[in-house]
Structure 1
């Protein structure tokens, strides 16, 4: 009985050993599948997908936008050119006047009497010249008297011209058409002479200037005659042309004065208001890409990533020609290069990618 139990136990142990060994000696289905896949034939990972747009090189004229102010083309202080008190003031602040319109009148101060005296003297000298001319021509009087008489007559005419000019100076007129911006003088406000005293300030509003200061780095691109767009702080817009570019820099700011002339026949543009001026610079070859396409290389250079003919990523440094609201104009990119506009921040140089083309409109969204 004991012997049969031992035989049974030995048989069970032997069966168990054989069953365990069968897993190593006879390959099962899973092991066969693993053995069938060799290391060099492992399944490849899918390439990273990026979106690209072809670069199109165009001649682009960037706009230089600067903040400045409007400035009247001409501004003058109207002053009295002769003595006398102010008796009439025919203008007021804000009034539009035409050329040669009377602004003010000064007291007479015997100017009319001086004019009448000068006129009488001229008549006297003329009569004397006419009366003695015949006697001189006949030889009754020496010819030297003719020279003296003509000299006296011309001196009388000069005195008459001076008297008329003095009387005319008592009437103050506008030198050109414009707007009166200030009237510091008052009628009867001063008993002293008005000679050299300011009566009013006259500003010519047409044309109007937009004045900006341009740095020396941007000065080369600004040319006289180039168009410019002006936007006032009030929202009013106008167009004009560059009239003047300074040849000497400001000693304090090292910037150059640039004047843009605008038509202001209606007087809608005031003097001294803040204005934003956009001046077109010289065109240069560039391509337009979305702002998001711009990236920074590990070296710190600013540029874009492109996909070459071998579907590998390359970095191209660029120069910013113009920075706009949604897009940027860049130079340094070859015509037709495929610029990565989506996924450029998730790939590196030399990496092979799966590039799909998208439209420029879709890339900008």
Structure 2
């Protein structure tokens, strides 16, 4: 039973030997047989020479064309804005909740909080402000009275000083009038200080009024922008605690119009992307969208060494959701390229990607290429000369310098 597998293995080995090692002899034998069937009797030496020196291949005439070169990256959609709306004060919710998915306009009320004693606090602050304002006229009157007495004391002092020089007043009277002036100056300083204190009291009262009014304003939580509710608003009767670990959470709002396309471009391609460049994307759902580049990061991601790029896309019907996978294509400067079948690609001994071409001397040569774009019609390649005869069948059986006999395939433009 083991003899049959051994026989089969021997036959396969012999076949592979003649097909690979003795390939030239087989080709020569096949050429001889073909010639015999056609009634011709070519010389054996001529047949062997043709088979060993020239390799028949199929090639195509290719001419470079200008194409729009694009940067292609994978990314996702991202809401233009998303925010957790938090209440800035504590209290019981008195408004009926809005359910998630509802659309809210800018400045629309989404949560209302019970005012409690806050109106009383505001009334008290306003009363203290009125009281502080009432004290200002009295303080000003005292300043004016003290100033008048100071003027009178200065006049008396001046008169006493002149009489003393003429011998009509004693030095005691002069000293008394000077003391009166000093006392009047002190009274003016005290009255001025009282006026400053009254004005400071007004400012303090105004600050208390503003604080109380702000606290009341915080009872009404409004939407900062138009968007969709991503969560229910706070339930009626629930307690919002502004000092809690999670804050006083009222709702989450996202803005989806316009929506952003976010991708990460490799550092080798980032210089090809420009601010304002047009681009588009195909979402995982099959929807195609178009937009413009609005942001290119100046700092690379430390892990991936890629740069964040954002495109802004209209989303009037809100059909595009946040977080959808997208294949993003960004327009870049055009390049000269050849459209060839993908099967024409090959590797040289160094593992470099390229194609084999037919030279003017009818010899094979290897040309390194760069893949620009892969389409259903073929693959766009850069790196070839303006015109080239590219081998599309048989390129794996020749190397640089081998003579070839090419038959050309018509191209479909």
Same fold per superposition (TM over 0.5): yes
Query: What CA RMSD, in Å, does the superposition of the two structures yield over aligned residues?
Result: 3.3
Q: C-alpha distance in 1, partners of 2:137/2:336?
A: 83
Q: Does 1:226 pair with 2:277?
A: yes
User: Given the alignment, which residue of 259, 263, 266 partners 2:317?
Assistant: 266
**Runs of 5+ consecutive residues of structure 2 not aligned to the other structure:** 1-41, 149-187
Q: C-alpha distance in 2, partners of 1:41/1:169?
A: 101
Q: How does 1:1-365 map to 2 (within 5 A)?
A: 48=56, 50-58=58-66, 60-66=68-74, 68-130=75-137, 132-133=139-140, 136-137=143-144, 139=147, 142-183=191-232, 185-190=234-239, 193=241, 195=243, 196-297=247-348, 300-341=351-392, 344=395, 349-356=401-408, 358-361=410-413
Q: C-alpha distance in 2, partners of 1:45/1:302?
A: 30
Alpha-carbon distance, 1:302 to partner: 2.9
DSSP 3-state at the match of 1:200: strand
Contact 2:99 2:232 in 1 (8 A): yes
String of CA shifts for 1:107-135, please: whole Å, max 9, x gaps. Answer: 11211111122222222322332455456
Alpha-carbon distance, 1:346 to partner: 6.4
Contact 1:61 1:280 in 2 (8 A): yes
String of CA shifts for 1:12-46, please: whole Å, max 9, x gaps. Answer: xxxxxxxxxxxxxxxxxxxxxxxxx999999x979
- Give the length in aligned residue pairs: 322
DSSP 3-state at the match of 1:229: strand
Alpha-carbon distance, 1:231 to partner: 1.8
Instruction: Describe the shift of the 1:235–1:339 C-alpha distance in structure 2 as closer, same or farther (beyond 3 A).
Output: same
String of CA shifts for 1:35-68, please: whole Å, max 9, x gaps. Answer: xx999999x97994734223225364133132x2
Q: C-alpha distance in 1, partners of 2:234/2:62?
A: 70
**Runs of 5+ consecutive residues of structure 1 not aligned to the other structure:** 1-36
DSSP 3-state at the match of 2:310: strand
The residue that corresponds to 2:163 in the other structure is none
Q: TM-score, normalised by structure 1?
A: 0.75
Contact 1:51 1:358 in 2 (8 A): no
Alpha-carbon distance, 1:291 to partner: 1.9
Instruction: Describe the shift of the 1:312–1:182 C-alpha distance in structure 2 as closer, same or farther (beyond 3 A).
Output: same
Structure with higher helix content: 2
DSSP 3-state at the match of 1:267: coil
Alpha-carbon distance, 1:357 to partner: 6.5
Contact 1:60 1:286 in 2 (8 A): no
Q: C-alpha distance in 2, partners of 1:289/1:137?
A: 100
Instruction: Describe the shift of the 1:146–1:200 C-alpha distance in structure 2 as closer, same or farther (beyond 3 A).
Output: same
DSSP 3-state at the match of 1:87: coil
Q: C-alpha distance in 2, partners of 1:356/1:176?
A: 65
Q: TM-score, normalised by structure 2?
A: 0.67
Instruction: Describe the shift of the 1:204–1:254 C-alpha distance in structure 2 as closer, same or farther (beyond 3 A).
Output: same
Contact 2:58 2:406 in 1 (8 A): yes
Instruction: Describe the shift of the 1:186–1:292 C-alpha distance in structure 2 as closer, same or farther (beyond 3 A).
Output: same
